[in-house]
Amino acid sequence: MSLQVSSAFAIGAIAVHDSQGTSADEAGYGVGYGSSRHEAERNAIRSCEKVGNDGCEIAVWYETCGAYAGDRVNFGIGYGSTKRDAEDMALDSCPHCKLIVSDCQ
């Protein structure tokens, strides 16, 4: 007999405040979770705004792991079954970017 455990928060999301010209070290972000994509995205925006960022937008949503990378002009997102997979995807799509945030839920 196998026991399946499910999380009440099955979806994660990353919201960022990262306008063009902002360095990776200056980009603001928030991470949120929820039982639906909508709930996770709403919570990520709230988290981003709660730490003083305005203009937060959803960068990526994910079921396991997600990542966001950026530089002053470009950005990359990633998702995958491990943090490393998500980070690699984000950096592959933006080779000169710096990893800003990655998370697994």
Q: What is the pLDDT of residue 4?
A: 39
Residue 17: CB atoms within 10 A of its CB come to: 20
pLDDT digits (tens, 9 = 90+) for 19-62: 878 888 888 999 999 999 999 999 999 999 999 998 999 999 99
Let me know if 7 is exposed, middle or buried by CB neighbors in 10 A (0-12, 13-18, 19+): exposed
Locate 12 and state its tokens.
């994660």
> Which of 68, 74, 78 is closest to 100 using CA atoms?
68
pLDDT band at residue 8 under the 50/70/90 scheme: low
pLDDT digits (tens, 9 = 90+) for 57-102: 999 999 999 999 999 999 999 999 999 999 999 999 999 999 999 9
